[in-house]
Amino acid sequence: MTRPLRRAHRSIWLALAAALPTLLAAGLALRPPQATDERIMDRITFRLPDGTEMVADSRELWGIAVDAPDPLIYWAAEAGGGAGRGTGGPPHDAQFVGALARGRQAALSLPRSGGYLFLYSLGHREVLARAPTPKEMP
């Protein structure tokens, strides 16, 4: 009784050893390509309390710091604290604005015009970059 079960077990494993890599390669080959539009990927729309909207490029604001995993955006009226890399958290009076999601066009509401935006990494527990709030275009 044991020998027939061993034969069946061996043949099943040989069939799986041949089928699984083939199925994996076919699945990867048939997967549709991911379309990314670089122009939209780095755009952020800021909504001011008076209803106006400003569009800014996140790379112009923070540089390569936007490549950090899941950065959070804080707004503060003054630039004190969190002035650069390795300075701990954002200022104590900073307000959470939203998360910078890669691959999607972000739309964030600011509490007031003016002030500074801080890019904070929760994983590293530090401010990655700071930038003044983009000015409204006339």
Same domain, 54 and 116: yes
Q: How confident is the model at residue 137 (pLDDT cuts 50, 70, 90)?
A: very low
Same domain, 13 and 74: no
| Alpha-carbon distances of 38 from 15, 56, 65, 69, rounded to whole Å | 44, 14, 17, 18
Structural domain including 74 reads: 38-132
Same domain, 55 and 105: yes
**Residue-level pLDDT at 103:** 55
Same domain, 59 and 117: yes
Same domain, 11 and 44: no
- Counted domains in the chain: 2
Q: Flag whether 127 is in a domain.
A: yes
More confident residue, 30 or 85: 30
What rounded mean pLDDT belongs to the chain?
80
Same domain, 63 and 1: no
Query: Of the spans 21-35, 58-72, 95-109, 113-127, which averages the highest pLDDT?
Result: 21-35
Same domain, 12 and 80: no
What is the pTM for the complete model shown?
0.62
Q: How far is 85 from 80, CA to CA, in rounded Å?
A: 14
DSSP element (H, E) containing 93: none
Q: Flag whether 138 is in a domain.
A: no
Q: How far is 104 from 98, CA to CA, in rounded Å?
A: 13
**Residue-level pLDDT at 6:** 94
Q: What is the pLDDT of residues 94-126, one digit of tens each?
A: 888 888 776 556 677 887 777 888 888 888 888
Q: Flag whether 123 is in a domain.
A: yes
Same domain, 63 and 3: no
More confident residue, 60 or 18: 18
Same domain, 115 and 86: yes
Same domain, 71 and 14: no
Q: In percent, how much of the chain has pLDDT > 70? A: 83
Identify the DSSP state of 33.
P
Same domain, 110 and 53: yes
Q: Flag whether 47 is in a domain.
A: yes
**Residue-level pLDDT at 20:** 95
Q: What is the pLDDT of residues 2-12, one digit of tens each?
A: 999 999 999 99
**Residue-level pLDDT at 105:** 61
Q: How far is 122 from 69, CA to CA, in rounded Å?
A: 9
Q: Flag whether 63 is in a domain.
A: yes
Is the pLDDT reported for residue 40 higher than 50?
no
